[in-house]
């Protein structure tokens, strides 16, 4: 996949990818393989993820490893993208939380950096994300957010309790969730309030008014369960990689 014509040109931009969790919700597929290395078509989901960033100009990656980090390092040394990008693995420990994994990568990061989960794909416009992040002025973090995709079908019910219809797994447009694809300033580490990104760091930034949201309306999907793994594989084989812009 070639570079986009509007690709990012900042050679110091680094993307941290969280690759260290045990992926318990996808068990037993993750019994011996870390979730980012589970296949989406004929390649690991991690490779598809790095390609999202690579095609938009990011050339440096830091993989925050943990559970079965040996396999992630082995993959990084042989992946198809290794001739186009720099990939460095940091062993952040098997039992670290997400925030602590990012903090342990801090020595390798510049003034502004990206971060994301190793199991979610989306056609996020990184140039627009970065522009929105920088335009916000005094924020030190920006989180990409998407409308909540419901895993259940919903009923439309009339005033007399008659069922009017069904909606199969709708997107709940009034509810926005964390989709990863973060942009951070290095100064975020000056007040890093705890080890968990979702429970400690992001709520604390929000409470201080230092976190903004970047709304993404395009494709996004996380690979949490065995069912998600199968669906991601189907999309990779039949859908023409909808996560690439």
Q: Residue ranges per domain, the chain?
A: 14-146+175-238
pLDDT band at 211 (very low <50, low <70, confident <90, very high): very high
Rounded to the nearest integer, the mean pLDDT of the chain is 89
Between 137 and 9, the more confident residue is 137
Asked if 177 and 146 touch (Cβ cutoff 8 Å), the reply is yes
Q: What share of the chain is helix, strand, coil (3-state, %, to 5)?
A: 30, 30, 40
Q: Is the pLDDT of residue 5 over 60?
A: no
Q: Is the pTM of this model over 0.85?
A: yes
Q: Is the pLDDT of residue 222 over 80?
A: yes
Which residues are bridge partners to 165 per DSSP?
156
Between 71 and 229, the more confident residue is 71
Between 49 and 41, the more confident residue is 49
Name the one residue in this structure whose structure tokens are 């996949």: 1
For the stretch 103-146, pLDDT in tens is 999 999 989 999 999 999 999 999 999 999 999 889 999 999 99
14-146+175-238, CATH topology level: Spore Coat Polysaccharide Biosynthesis Protein SpsA; Chain A (3.90.550)
Q: Is the pLDDT of residue 155 over 90?
A: no
Phi, psi (rounded to 5 degrees) for 190: -65, -30
Per-residue confidence (pLDDT) for residue 88, from 0 to 100: 95
Percent of the chain at pLDDT exceeding 70: 93
Per-residue confidence (pLDDT) for residue 148, from 0 to 100: 80
The continuous run of DSSP H or E covering 232 comes out as helix 226-238
């Amino acid at each position: 996949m070639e570079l986009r014509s509007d690709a990012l040109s900042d050679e110091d931009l680094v993307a941290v990818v969280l690759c260290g969790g045990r992926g318990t919700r996808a068990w037993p597929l993750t019994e011996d393989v870390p979730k980012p290395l589970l296949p989406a078509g004929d390649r690991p989901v991690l490779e598809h993820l790095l390609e999202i960033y690579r095609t938009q100009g990011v050339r440096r990656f830091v993989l925050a490893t943990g559970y079965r980090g040996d396999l992630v390092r082995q993959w990084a040394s042989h992946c198809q993208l290794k001739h186009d990008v720099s990939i460095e693995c940091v062993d952040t420990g098997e039992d670290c939380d997400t925030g602590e994994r990012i903090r342990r990568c801090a020595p390798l990061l510049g003034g502004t950096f990206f971060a994301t989960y190793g199991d979610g794909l989306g056609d996020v416009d990184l140039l627009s994300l970065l522009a929105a992040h920088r335009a916000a002025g005094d924020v030190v973090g920006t989180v990409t957010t998407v409308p909540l995709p419901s895993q259940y079908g919903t009923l439309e019910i009339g005033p007399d309790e008659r069922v009017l219809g069904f909606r199969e797994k709708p997107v709940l447009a009034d509810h926005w969730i964390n989709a990863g694809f973060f942009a951070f300033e290095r100064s975020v580490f000056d007040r890093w309030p705890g080890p968990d990104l979702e429970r400690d760091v992001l709520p604390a930034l929000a409470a201080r008014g230092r976190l903004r949201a970047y709304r993404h309306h395009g494709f996004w999907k996380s690979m949490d369960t065995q069912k998600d793994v199968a669906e991601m594989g189907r999309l990779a084989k039949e859908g023409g990689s909808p996560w690439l812009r």
